[in-house]
Amino acid sequence: MSRPPSMQPQMCGPWELKERLGTGGFGNVTLWQNKESATQIAIKQCRQELSAKNKGRWSLEIQIMKRLNHMNVVAARDVPEELQKLATNDLPLLAMEYCQGGDLRKYLNLLENCCGMREAAVLTLIQDISSALTYLHGMRIIHRDLKPENIVLQQGEKRLVHKIIDLGYAKELDQSSLCTSFVGTLQYLAPELLEQQKYTVAVDYWSFGTLVFECITGFRPFLPTWQPVQWHNKLLQKQVDDIVVYEDLTGEVRFSKHLPNPHNLNKLLAGELESWLQMMLRWSPKERGKDLIQRTSCFCFDELSRILNLKLVHVLNMTSAEIFTYSVQPQEDVASLQERIAQDARIPPANQELLLEAGLALEPHNSVMQCAIDYSVCLEELSLPLVFLFDRSCYSYEPQFTPRVLPENIRFVQNELKRLLPYSSQRRTWGQAWHTIRALKEDWQRLQQGQKVKNEMVSMHQRLKATLEFFSTSLHIDIDKYQEQRATGIGTTHGRIKYYSAHTHQFTSHSAQKALWVMTS
C-alpha cells in the first residue's frame, strides 16, 4: 500500500485520504474514504505542469468517462463537494469507482502466474476485456493504451470482474476516422503506432492479443527485453501467422506460430486460441482481426465469442494420468462421448466406467451436458469438474503414466549444467521448474481424487451387496417358517414361539427392504 501524498490534505470534510493508487499519464490517482458511510472513491487529479495538448486530452478523458456505462469499463462518479477543493488549477477532477482487487499487472506478478494464469481465469479475462472493447469501439472510441496496468479487478458476486481504466490516451473516431498521434506504452503498441502511421481500431486488436498472450504464458510475445528500433527491425521478418518471437538460451532468435509451453490451457482450448492470436497479431492492420477470406470486420470478437461458448468436458484417464478434453453439444449423449474416448484412450465403450466427482456413474443414455464445464463462474483449476475414466476389464492394474514433457529451458539446463545463463533466462527457468513441480503435484492430487471416488463407489457397492444378501437370507427364513407353520399349525405354545420367531424374521426382512430402498434412492 502506497503512503498518502505528503503535500495533499489528509482530510476533506468527512473524506479521509487512504493511499495513493498510482500515477497515470496525466496525474495521480488517490483513494478516499468517507468516515461516515465507509464509501470509497478514486480521485484522479491532473498535474499542473501538463502541456496545453495534454490538458485537452485530460478534458477529453473526463468527457468520455462520464458518458460511458459498461460493467467492464470503470465507472465515473460525481466528485463530492468536499473534494472539489483538491483541484489546484483550472482543470476538473475525475472521480471513479474504486476496484479493490488491484491491477492485472499485480495479479500477473504473483508466483502462481509465473507461467500464465489458470485456464478459467484466462477465459473470464478474455470475456470481460473483449466485451469492454466491443462496447468502446461501438461508441467509436479507440483505447490505444491497453495493458495490464490499465485493467483493474473487482470481486463480483460469482467471480472476479475485469475493468478497463485510464482512457487518457483514448481517441474518438468521430474527430477523424484515421489518427496519427504517437501515444501509448511501447511494449503493447501496434507496429503502425511505432511507425507513426495512420491507424484505426486495429491498434487495440494488437494490444489485446499481446495482453492475452502474456496472460496465457506469463511473458510478452515479441522480444520483450529488446529496444524499440531493434525490436521493430526483427519483427519485420515475422510471418503472417507467427505469434511469438523469442531468444532461446543460445541467443538465437526464433519465430513460432504456436503457444510455447508451459501454460495452463488444455490442448483443445490452446489450439483455438492459437488461431485467434494468429489473427490478432498480424503485422498488417488491414488484415488484423479479420477473416482473410470474407474480410469481415469485428470477426475477431465473433470468433472469440464462439470459443468462449464452447462446452468442454475434461476426462481423466486413470490408467495414464492423461486428461482428454472434448467440445460437446447440448443434444449429445454420453454414448457419443464414449466413442471419442475410445479413440484416444483405446478402451472400448463397453469397458469404460465413467465416474463423476460425486461418485455417480455416467450412463450411455445420459446427457453429456451434466459433466460439461460452465466457465461463467471462475473456479480454481483443481475444482473444475472432471470425469474419471476406469477400465472395467481390469480389476487391478499398475497405471503406465504418460510422463510430462519438460519445458525447453529445463531440458537445456539438464544438458548444459555448467553454462551460466543471464538473469532473465534464469528467472524464466526457475518459473518453469516451479510450474512443472506444481503440475506434477496436481496430477497426483487428481489421481488420488479419482481413486477416492472409485473406492467410495466400491464401498457403497459392497454395502448394497451385503444388504441384498441379508434381505435374501431373511426372505428365505420367512418362507421356511411359513411352510413349517402351515405343516404343524400354531396352536401349541411351541407353535406360538415359532410363529413369533417367524414374524421376527419377517420384520427383519422389512427392515432390510427399507435399507435397500435407502441405499438405492
DSSP secondary structure string for all residues of 292-328: TTT--TTHHHHHHHHHHT-EEEEEEETTT--EEEEEE
Active site residue 145: yes
C-beta atoms surrounding 147 within 10 Å? 21
Phi, then psi, of 475 in degrees rounded to 5: -65, -45
Q: Please, are residues 197 and 180 in contact by the beta-carbon 8 Å criterion? A: yes
What are the residue ranges of helices labelled H in 7-160?
52-67, 104-108, 119-138
Is the Cβ–Cβ distance between 265 and 314 less than 8 Å? no
Cα separation, 110 vs 116, in Å, equals 10
Q: Which is the catalytic residue, given 78, 90, 103, 145?
A: 145
Torsion of CA 21, 216, 251, 435, to 10 degrees: 90
What cell does 183 get?
Answer: 501515444
The number of helix segments (H) and strand segments (E) in the chain equals: 12, 16
Q: Mutual orientation of helices 299-308 and 267-280 as an angle, nearest 10°?
A: 170
Q: What share of the chain is helix, strand, coil (3-state, %, to 5)?
A: 45, 15, 40
Q: Output b/e per residue, 360-371; b: 16+ Cβ within 10 A.
A: eebeeebebbeb
CA-only gyration radius of the chain, Å: 32
Largest CA distance in the chain: 117
Which three cell numbers mark 215? 496472460
Pairing of strands 387-391, 311-317: parallel
Q: Are 401 and 320 in contact (CB under 8 A)?
A: yes
Neighbours of 211 (CB within 10 A): 24
Phi, psi of 155 (to 5 degrees): -75, 120
The number of residues making up the chain comes to 521
Instruction: Give the 3-state DSSP-derived string for 345-397, with helices as H, strands as E and coil as C.
Output: HCCCHHHEEEECCCCCECCCCCEHHHHCCCCCCCCCHHHCCCEEEEECCCCCC
Q: How far apart are CA 353 and CA 331, in angstroms?
A: 22
Contacts of 260 (CB under 8 A, 6+ apart): 217, 244, 246, 408
Active site residues: 145
